[in-house]
């Protein structure tokens, strides 16, 4: 389960390690590591050279409602 965070971080994610650090900062590092492990196991036997984009969406709980919204959840796409 993630944590409530008021930190606003710059958009500096450039690679998978950066993304893992960002997940940790949002309080979901363990869950993200599990996701990566499952993804690696699922694709371990693939022999196709094609590349596939993967979108990662973090639902970040803020300590206050967002401006113009009734929710405290901010969706961040990395």
Query: Which residues of the chain fall below pLDDT 70?
Result: 1-7, 78
Domain boundaries, the chain: 16-77
Q: Please tell me the predicted confidence (pLDDT) of residue 51.
A: 84
Which pLDDT score, from 0 to 100, does residue 36 have? Answer: 93
CA torsion angle 13 77 23 30 (round to 10): -140
Q: What is the DSSP letter of 4?
A: B
pTM of the entire predicted model: 0.67
CB-based contacts of 25-30 (< 8 A; 24+ apart in sequence): 26/2, 26/58, 26/60, 26/76, 27/1, 27/2, 27/3, 28/2, 28/58
């Amino acid at each position: 389960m993630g944590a409530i965070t008021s930190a606003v971080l710059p958009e500096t994610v450039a690679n998978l390690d950066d993304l893992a650090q960002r997940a940790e900062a949002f309080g979901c590092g363990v869950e993200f590591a599990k996701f990566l492990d499952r993804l690696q196991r699922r694709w371990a036997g693939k022999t196709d050279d094609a590349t596939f984009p993967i979108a990662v969406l973090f639902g970040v709980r803020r300590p206050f409602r967002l401006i113009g919204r009734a929710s405290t959840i901010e969706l961040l796409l990395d």
